[in-house]
C-alpha cells in the first residue's frame, strides 16, 4: 500500500475499534455516529486491504493483522497527540521567556513603559527587550532578526506578516486651558501665523511632516522650542502660550501615565493636516506565531494598552 493513500484521520477510529471491539462503543468513545464509524471501517478495510474486524458472538474480533497493529498504532497516536499536536501552555508566573518588541520611534514613549511594567508585574521571570524600528518600516514593514512583535504605522499591507489595528490617532493642536488664541477649529494659515510652536521631531529627522505640509502651502511656522522627547512637555505647555501639533492620543498617553491632571484644550486642525498626518497604529507579527501561547499573551498586553490609549480623553 502507498503511504500517501492512508487517511491518518481514520487511525483513531481503528484504535477505538481495537479497544472496544464494537462499532457502537467505538462511536460513543469518539463522539461519532455509528454510521460514521461503520463508513470509516469500510475505508480502512479498503486502504489496508484487510477485513480488520470480523463479527463474532462476542461482538467484533480483530484479524491477526489488526491484532498486530494494536501496539504500534497506540504508540503512533501517542506521539501525534503528545509531541505533534501538543501546544505548551504559557504560565507567565513561572516562564522565563525573553520578548523582543520593535516599536516606531514616535510610539516608544507611549507603549514601552506601560508594556514593560505590565509584563514584569504579571511575568516576573520574563525579560523584555525593546528596539526602535528602522526608518523605512512605514513604507516596507518587516520584522528584523528576533523581533517577536512590532508596534507602528505602515502605509501599505505588510508582506508575510499578520497585522491588527490598535487605534487611529488624529493630529491636533494641544494648548493649555485659557490660551489667548484658543479656538475649537483653526485654518492652516491661523496655525502658522497665530501661534508659537513646540516642534517635536525624531532624532535624525531634518524636518517634520507638519513643516513640509505648511511649506507646500507657502507657509512657515515659528518654533521657539524644539524637543525630541515628550517627557517634561506638560511643564512647557502649562506655563506658556505655545502650541504642540501632534498625535493627540499618543501625547496624552505619554503624560497621563504619571496620573497628572492636565488642563489642556484640543484644537481641531484643517483636513489638509489630519488627512496627511493622522495615522493608524497597528501591531505586526509573523503568521507562524499566531497560535503561540506566549505570543498570544504578549499581543493581549499590547491590545490592552492600545485600548487604553484609544479611550483617552481630555481631563477638564
Answer whether 228's CB lies under 8 Å from 203's CB: yes
Q: Where are the domains of the chain?
A: 3-84, 98-168+280-310, 171-277
| Mean pLDDT across 211-233 | 87
Residue 190 pLDDT: 95
Residue 5 pLDDT: 61
- Check whether 316 has a pLDDT greater than 50: no
Ranges 48-52, 153-157, 194-198, 216-220: which has the least confidence: 153-157
- Check whether 86 has a pLDDT greater than 80: no
| Mean pLDDT across 55-64 | 87
Please give the radius of gyration of the chain, using alpha carbons only, rounded to the nearest integer. Answer: 31
Domain 171-277 belongs to what topology?
D-Maltodextrin-Binding Protein; domain 2 (3.40.190)
The whole model's pTM is what? Answer: 0.63
How many other C-beta atoms are found inside a 10 Å radius of the C-beta of residue 204? 8
Answer whether 142's CB lies under 8 Å from 152's CB: no
In 133-184, where do the E strands start and end? Answer: 149-152, 162-169, 171-176
> Thinking of the domain 3-84, which architecture would CATH place it in?
Orthogonal Bundle (1.10)
| Mean pLDDT across 137-160 | 75
Mean pLDDT computed over every residue of the chain = 84
Answer whether 1's CB lies under 8 Å from 49's CB: yes
CATH annotation of 98-168+280-310: 3.40.190.10
Ranges 29-33, 83-87, 114-118, 177-181: which has the least confidence: 83-87
Residue 272 cell numbers, joined:
489638509
Please write the tens of the pLDDT for every residue from 248-276: 777 777 665 545 556 788 899 998 888 88
Answer whether 54's CB lies under 8 Å from 66's CB: no
Answer whether 141's CB lies under 8 Å from 154's CB: yes
Residue 105 pLDDT: 79
Fold match flag (3-84 vs 98-168+280-310): no
Residue 2 pLDDT: 47
- Check whether 43 has a pLDDT greater than 50: yes
Amino acid at each position: 500500500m502507498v503511504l500517501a493513500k492512508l487517511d491518518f484521520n481514520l487511525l483513531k477510529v481503528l484504535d477505538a475499534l481495537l479497544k472496544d471491539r464494537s462499532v457502537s462503543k467505538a462511536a460513543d468513545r469518539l463522539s461519532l455516529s455509528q454510521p460514521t464509524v461503520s463508513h470509516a471501517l469500510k475505508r480502512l478495510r479498503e486502504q489496508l486491504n484487510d477485513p480488520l474486524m470480523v463479527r463474532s458472538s462476542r461482538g467484533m474480533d480483530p484479524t491477526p493483522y489488526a491484532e498486530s497493529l494494536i501496539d504500534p498504532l497506540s504508540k503512533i497516536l501517542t506521539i501525534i497527540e503528545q509531541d505533534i499536536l501538543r501546544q505548551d501552555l504559557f504560565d507567565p508566573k513561572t516562564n522565563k521567556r525573553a520578548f523582543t518588541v520593535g516599536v516606531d520611534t514616535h510610539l516608544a514613549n507611549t507603549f514601552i513603559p506601560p508594556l514593560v511594567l505590565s509584563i514584569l508585574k504579571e511575568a516576573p521571570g520574563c525579560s523584555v527587550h525593546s528596539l526602535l524600528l528602522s526608518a523605512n518600516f512605514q513604507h516596507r514593514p518587516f520584522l528584523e532578526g528576533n523581533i517577536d512583535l512590532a508596534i507602528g504605522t505602515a502605509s501599505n499591507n505588510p508582506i508575510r506578516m499578520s497585522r491588527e489595528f490598535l487605534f487611529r490617532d488624529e493630529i491636533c493642536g494641544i494648548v493649555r486651558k485659557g490660551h489667548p488664541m484658543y479656538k475649537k477649529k483653526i485654518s492652516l494659515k491661523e496655525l502658522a501665523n497665530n501661534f508659537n510652536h513646540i516642534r517635536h521631531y525624531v532624532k535624525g529627522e531634518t524636518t517634520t511632516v507638519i513643516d513640509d505640509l505648511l511649506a507646500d502651502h507657502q507657509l512657515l511656522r515659528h518654533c521657539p522650542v524644539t524637543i525630541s522627547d515628550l517627557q517634561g512637555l506638560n511643564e512647557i505647555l502649562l506655563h506658556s502660550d505655545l502650541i504642540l501639533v501632534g498625535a493627540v492620543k499618543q501625547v496624552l498617553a505619554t503624560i497621563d501615565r504619571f496620573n497628572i491632571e492636565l488642563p489642556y484644550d484640543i484644537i481641531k486642525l484643517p483636513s489638509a493636516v489630519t488627512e496627511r498626518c493622522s495615522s493608524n497604529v497597528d501591531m505586526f507579527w509573523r503568521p507562524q506565531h499566531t497560535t503561540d501561547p506566549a505570543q498570544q499573551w504578549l499581543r493581549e498586553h499590547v491590545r490592552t494598552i492600545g485600548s487604553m490609549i484609544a479611550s483617552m480623553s481630555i481631563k477638564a
